[in-house]
Structures are given as structure tokens and as C-alpha cells.
Structure 1
């Protein structure tokens, strides 16, 4: 099960990133072009929130089933001294949870705004901040913090 969770978590990472980039693009284009906030824009807002919640759920399942995290929890004082364990045991999950909370707040707040410009602005700002946090917390292959491959396999 653990290898399947890793695979799906890896796949959903790309869905979250691409959908966030697309939503931010639509938000910038809509606000700068003074477009109306269409049903399509509302669907994009809702879909990114849904995709990110699925990713967070997979991440939590992975976190609580990971032998890596089991070691971190059982040998906390030793593991906290090793950055790889600290990154995945605390930093990664905390930053990702914060980013999904920001996406949720941004999605909900955008839906409740009165004007189309405010809807685009709210969606863009919250999603852009969440995307920045996500970029920092992903263990990219080139990252000095913790590196993993671009795509996991079974």
C-alpha cells in the first residue's frame, strides 16, 4: 500500500501544481482584462480546492503509514538532528497543510466576494501564496533540503 500511496502522491503533486498555475493565470487574466467571473472560473476555483484536498488526504495517509515517519516519531530526539527526518517529519507536512488551508480560504473567500474583480484578486493572491509555499516544501530532485525524483513509480 505504501508504494501505491507514494505513486499517487507523486502524480497528484503535478495536478496540484498545474491546476494552481492555471487558476493563477486565469485570475491574473480576468482581473487585468476586467473580465466577468464566469462559471468556468468558478469551476476552476472549486476543482483546484478539490484536487488539493485529495492530495492532502493522500499525503496524510502516506505520513501515518510511512516507516520513515514511524522512525521519526519513535526516535524523535535522534531523528530531529537529521535534516531529512526533520524535513519530512515536520517541515513538509506543516507547510503543505498551511498551503491547503490557504487554498481553501482563498477558494471560499473568492466565492463570497461581491465584484468579479475582487473574486479574481482574492483567488489569485491566496493561490499564489499557497503555490509559493508548495514550491518551497516539495522535495525537488535539485533541492538541498530533501530530494526525491520528479515522479515515483510502483
Structure 2
């Protein structure tokens, strides 16, 4: 089970990054370009929300079945973790949850705005913050 969930979590991350970058740049470009909010913009931001939530669910399952997650903390204690183990067991999950929360807040707040510019502003801010957090805690050494 562990290897299957790890595989899904690792390769789903490519889709998450692609869609999140697309949604973020879409919101930024249309905010600064004073464009009208259209159905396609709604779909892009919704799809980014959906794929990040699926990634979060995969990550939470992985956290509890992986030897690098909760089991590592239980076995070694917080003081016994080296920097890479701390990244996988503490920083990556915490910052990932925080990023998904920001993306969710941005998506929820944009729906309450009535005009295009405020919608894109909210999406730009929260999706950019979420993207920065996601990029900051990817275990890049495992990807390449």
C-alpha cells in the first residue's frame, strides 16, 4: 500500500504543479490586464482547488502509512530527526496543509466578489501564496 500511495502522491504532484501554475498565472495576467472573469477562469481555479485537495488526501494517507512520516517521529522523536527526515515528517506536510488552506480560502473568497477585478485579485494573492509554499517544501532531491 505504501508504494502505491507514494507513487500516486509523487506523480499527482506534477499535475498539481502544472494546474496551480496555470491557475496562478491566469489570475495574475487577467488581474493586471483588466480582463473579464469568464466561465473558463472559474473552471481553471476550481480544477486547481480539486487537484490540490486530492494531493492533500494522498499526502495524509501517505503520512500515516509511510516509514518517513508519523512512524519516523514515533521511532526517533522530534529531536532525533535529521534535516531530510524533518522535511518529510514535519515541514512538507505542515506547509502542504497550509498551502491547501490558502488556496481554499482564495477560491471561497473569490466566489463572493461580484466583479472581475476583485475576483482575480483574491485568486492572485491566495493562489500565489499557495504556489510559493508548495514550491518551498517539495523534496527536490527525491524528484530528480
For residues 89-144 of structure 1, give each alpha carbon's deviation from its aligned partner in whole angstroms, at most 9, with x where no partner exists.
1111110000000000011111111210000111011000111111110001xxxx
Structure 2 residues without counterparts, runs of 5 or longer: none
The TM-score, its normalising length taken from structure 2, stands at 0.93
Matched-pair contact (CA < 8 Å) for 2:31–2:124: no
3-state DSSP class of the match of 1:10?
Answer: helix
Deviating more after overlay: 26-35 vs 69-78: 69-78
Judging by fraction of residues, say which structure has more helix: 2
- 2:96 corresponds in structure 1 to 96
Aligned match of 1:71: 72
How far is the alpha carbon of 1:83 from its aligned partner?
A: 1.4
In the superposition, the TM-score normalised over structure 1's length comes to 0.87
Counterpart position of 1:139: 139
SS at match of 2:142: coil
Q: Any conservation in 2 of the 1:27–1:124 contact (CA below 8 Å)?
A: yes
**Count of aligned positions:** 143
Measured on the aligned residues, the alpha-carbon RMSD in Å equals: 1.3
Q: Give the corresponding residue for 2:129.
A: 129
1:143 is matched with none
Match for residue 59 of structure 1?
Answer: 59
Q: Which consecutive segments of 4 or more residues in structure 1 shift more than 4 A?
A: none
Q: For structure 1, list consecutive stretches of 5 or more residues without a partner in the other structure.
A: 141-146
1:28 & 1:85 partners in 2: Cα distance? 35
